[in-house]
């Protein structure tokens, strides 16, 4: 194990606790065993400044509090996120993403739809779709307006406030029931959450198909308008 880089005395390696001392260390990759057998091996490239002196005393105190037994055998690596000490991808994932995402985000990956549609839904939920106004902001082609009814086109307009889309939602409401009187994604999400948990998957499946259809038709119209121009 390495004196400066490994976490063996406290909750962080000495590179983090004493960056000033580490910056002037002659041998940054010195092992713990070599350093503790002879502290003179911790050579530094210049004399101490006042701040370095205080850090050096703190370093010695830290070593005294956590002095390892150098006669216990060879060093070995231990994964502290598992009781067994062995690495697992599951424990790593839980450490970097300890809390589940919103239900909408976790549900869409389990929907039985092609991956490209699930990715599309993720982009829709995060407002990352290249709507007309987003493309215009990036100096892309087009005027940023809806190809169906003319107003400025953002993601909310594509899926909720366009006149043609509102007609489609009203037809959908006649078929499946419910209010489905939405003009934004949070309202749609609230409607889905209010439904029976057993129907969440089929609801998201239906919404996914409908939203993907709207998106592909809209894209076809945008391309036709650009080609005509």
Backbone phi and psi for residue 186, each to the nearest 5 degrees, phi listed first: -55, -40
What is the per-residue pLDDT for 153?
92
Question: 32 and 68 in contact (C-beta within 8 Å)?
Answer: yes
* 74 and 179 both lie in a single domain: no
CB atoms within 10 A of CB 59: 18
Residues in a beta bridge with 44: 25
* 182 and 212 both lie in a single domain: yes
* 160 and 223 both lie in a single domain: yes
- What's the Cα-to-Cα distance from 156 to each of 24, 54, 134, rounded to whole Å? 56, 59, 12
User: In this model, does residue 66 exceed pLDDT 70?
Assistant: no
pLDDT (tens digit per residue) in 137-163: 888 888 889 988 889 999 999 998 998
CB atoms within 10 A of CB 197: 8
| Rounded mean pLDDT, 176-197 | 73
* 140 and 40 both lie in a single domain: no
User: In this model, does residue 221 exceed pLDDT 60?
Assistant: yes
pLDDT (tens digit per residue) in 71-117: 555 667 778 788 888 888 888 877 776 555 555 566 777 788 898 99
User: In this model, does residue 217 exceed pLDDT 70?
Assistant: yes
What is the per-residue pLDDT for 84?
87
Q: Which domain holds residue 8?
A: 1-99
Give the total number of structural domains in the chain.
2
What is the per-residue pLDDT for 158?
93
CA distance 197 to 195: 6
Q: Last residue of a domain, which of 51, 78, 99? A: 99
If you write DSSP's letter for every residue of 172-207 in order, what string do you get?
HHHHH-S----SSHHHHHHHHHHS-GGGHHHHHHHH
What is the per-residue pLDDT for 154?
92
Q: In this structure, what token pair is assigned to residue 79?
A: 């994964």
pLDDT bucket at 10, cuts 50 / 70 / 90: confident
| Rounded mean pLDDT, 27-56 | 83
Angle at 227 between CA 164 and CA 216, to 5 degrees: 40
- Max avg pLDDT among 36-40, 49-53, 181-185: 49-53
What is the per-residue pLDDT for 226?
79
Residues in a beta bridge with 31: 2
């Amino acid at each position: 194990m390495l004196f400066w880089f490994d976490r063996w005395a406290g909750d962080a390696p000495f590179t983090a606790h004493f960056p000033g001392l580490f910056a002037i260390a002659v041998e940054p990759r010195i092992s713990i065993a070599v350093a503790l057998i002879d502290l003179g091996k911790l050579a530094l490239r210049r004399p101490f400044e006042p701040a370095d002196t205080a850090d050096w005393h703190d370093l010695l105190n830290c070593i005294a509090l956590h002095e390892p037994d150098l006669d216990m055998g060879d060093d070995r690596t231990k994964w502290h996120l598992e009781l067994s000490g062995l690495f697992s991808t599951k424990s790593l994932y839980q450490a970097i993403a300890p809390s589940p995402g919103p239900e909408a985000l976790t549900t869409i990956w389990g929907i039985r739809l092609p991956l490209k549609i699930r990715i599309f839904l993720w982009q829709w939920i995060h407002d990352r779709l290249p709507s007309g106004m987003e493309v215009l902001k990036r100096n892309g082609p087009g005027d940023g307006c809806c190809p169906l009814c003319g107003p400025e086109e953002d993601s909310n307009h594509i899926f909720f406030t366009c006149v043609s889309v509102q007609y489609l939602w009203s037809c959908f409401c006649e078929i499946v029931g419910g209010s489905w009187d939405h003009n934004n994604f949070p309202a749609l999400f609230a409607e889905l959450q209010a439904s029976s948990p057993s129907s969440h998957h089929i609801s998201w499946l239906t919404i996914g198909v409908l939203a993907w259809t709207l998106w592909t038709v809209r894209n076809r119209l945008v391309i036709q308008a650009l080609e005509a121009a």
